Copies of this chain bind each other. A is one copy, B any other.
Amino acid sequence: MKAEIIAIGTELLLGQIVNTNAQYLSQQLNAIGADVYYHTVVGDNPGRINAAFQTAAARSDLIVVTGGLGPTQDDITKEVLAEYTGRKLLMHEPTLESIAEYYAVRGLTMTDNNARQAMILSEADVLPNDNGMAVGVALTHEGKHWLLLPGPPREMKVMFERYAVPWIQSRNGSAEALYSITLKFSGIGESALEQELIDLIDGQTDPTIAPYAKDGEVAVRLSTKAPSQEKAEAKLQPTIEAIAGRVGRYLYAERDIPLEQAVVEWLQQTGQTVAAAESCTGGLVGQLLTSIPGSSQVYAGGVISYSARAKHEQLGVSEETIAKHGTISSETAEEMALGARRAFHTDWAVAVTGVAGPGPSEGKSPGTVFIAVAGEAGVCSYALRLAGDREMIRLRAAKSVLYRLWQHLKEGAAGAGD
């Protein structure tokens, strides 16, 4: 079943809000076996809504429309669909009564325009609105299925999950749902990863293999249609193993979690702790770690040593090191990590010092970053050359030091008991 999502609302075209409804509905529709091929956004204009309906009917089997069901003059979705399908607009009495009661209970007068929310189309099914007043509509016209849902997400999601999903499923036969597994990687760039997997990607049929970048990390999405989760996993397993065989050292999770979550979980499971010493990242490493609920078990804290003096006084970086190598150096990164580990009494500590830009610092260009990981066995530092603007360099620096920490955690686990 080919699905299309049409969001109606001029505020979307003005860029006042972002189209989260389309994202939500895409996830939901894919999960019940309806393939989403198009999103469309159109404004509160009858001519353009009608044209969008025509375009959708020509290319899609299921058209899910959100928005334009409210009480104001701009809300015309039902009228336009009635005109497009040649059906009548009728008043749905039970909905009208509950709208009237809502006002009566509060001692308010129901304004006429509110009654418009109780309209439905002839020969259509009613989709109740459990979180609002505007009733939804589902109908089939010339073989195409149409659903009209409210715009406000709180109302739309409940209506969709409770009433629209069963309605769609009863018309979709025994569709196979699309199952995806997302493999997450760090420490390798998107194009280098694709290059390692190029023959798999070029030769893909089922499952499909799609690399993409997200939030400073790289992901590979594997998708297949199957009648059940178990069968899907069986179909995906050989491909996962082929990929892991090649790039497993960068693979930190077989589900779509951020790197910091993998790090926190590993520390939790092994009962270890970590602290962070940050300069150019300005607190981002701490913020990423503490965004994970339960991180207080493993993250003791950190120091943002933005000035040379703070690096010396808060972390014990020696004045000699700063004088000889500068604050942006592997020597300083190592002393920052050792200092944080000492100060916070943790098993591990990470450190980042570098130039985020836009200008150079201490004669070093933006993207010059040194990171270090200190543990019981000692301390390692790494020199990075990162691309992008200030925020991207900071994000990549934070993810890089977490990647190195994760590598050390894995090596530590591998070494134990050998």
Q: Which residues of A contact B (CB under 8 A)?
A: 7, 10-20, 22-28, 30, 36-45, 48, 51-52, 55, 59, 70-74, 102, 105-106, 108, 111, 113-114, 131-132, 152, 154, 158, 178, 180, 190-192, 194-195, 198, 201-202, 210-214, 221, 223, 256, 276, 278, 280-287, 289-291, 293, 295-296, 299-307, 309-310, 313-314, 343-345, 356-359, 385, 387-392, 394
Contact = CB atoms under 8 A, between A and B. Distances in A.
A69 to B, nearest CB: 13
A220 B15 CA distance: 14
Contact of A301 (B27, B212, B314, B358): B314
Nearest to A110: B191
Given A17-B23, A17-B214, 9 more contacts: A15-B28, A15-B36, A131-B389, A131-B392, A276-B283, A283-B287, A301-B307, A309-B345, A314-B344
Nearest to A303: B303
B293 A358 contact: yes
Given A282-B289, A385-B105, A37 B30 contact: no
A194 B73 CA distance: 9
B51 A39 contact: no
Nearest to A102: B387
8 A-B pairs with least C-beta separation: A282-B290, A283-B283, A283-B286, A15-B26, A15-B27, A39-B41, A301-B310, A283-B287
B23 A19 contact: yes
Contacts of A132: 387-388
A154 B392 contact: yes
A190 B72 contact: yes
B113 A195 contact: yes
Contacts of A194: 71-73, 111, 113
B38 A40 contact: yes
Contacts of A389: 131, 154, 158
Contact of A131 (B73, B307, B385, B388): B388
Given A282-B287, A392-B154, A23 B27 contact: no
Number of copies: 2
B37 A388 contact: no
B27 A38 contact: no
A interface SS class: mixed
Contact of A304 (B154, B256, B304, B309): B304
Contacts of A221: 11, 14, 16
Nearest to A42: B38
Contacts of A26: 12-15
Contacts of A307: 296, 300-301, 344
A54 to B, nearest CB: 11
A25 B41 CA distance: 13
B23 A73 contact: no
30 contacts: A7-B39, A12-B23, A13-B26, A13-B36, A14-B221, A15-B24, A15-B27, A16-B221, A16-B256, A19-B39, A38-B40, A38-B42, A39-B41, A55-B55, A70-B190, A70-B191, A72-B194, A73-B202, A113-B198, A131-B392, A132-B388, A276-B304, A282-B286, A282-B287, A283-B302, A283-B304, A287-B287, A293-B358, A299-B306, A301-B303
A394 B290 CA distance: 10
A304 B394 CA distance: 18
